Amino acid sequence: MKVMVARIYVTEGKRVHEKIFKRLHDEHKVMGVTVYRGVTGFGKSGETHSSNLLDVSFDLPMVVEFFDTEANVTRALSSISDLVPPGHVLTFAADFS
């Protein structure tokens, strides 16, 4: 089965990942969602977000990854566009077996 995978890159500070997860689960009922917390990362600003024993960060990088049919992924991404900054979504085709 052909599916589309979407990866959404955010930080955990404003807990946007929870809002995205809820919409994907409750409204769009996508086939699967996983939320990952990064250890270290940076984006366009170049600001490093990191977790270590000396400096505990509460704004770590987060990735919300989900998959479904291309049509449902497109609808879902449109629905959550108010939560996701421009340029923070990556999509690609995949085989689900």
At 25, which amino acid appears? H
DSSP state of 52: -
pTM for the model stands at 0.86
CB neighbours of 77 closer than 8 A, spacing ≥ 6? 6, 84, 89, 91
How many CB atoms neighbour CB 73 within 10 A?
21
Token digits of residue 7 = 């990866």
Return per-residue pLDDT of the chain as tens, 97 residues. 999 999 999 988 889 999 999 999 999 999 999 999 887 787 777 877 776 645 555 678 899 999 999 999 999 999 999 999 999 999 999 998 8
Domains of the chain: 2-95 (3.30.70.120)
CB 64 within 8 A of CB 73: no
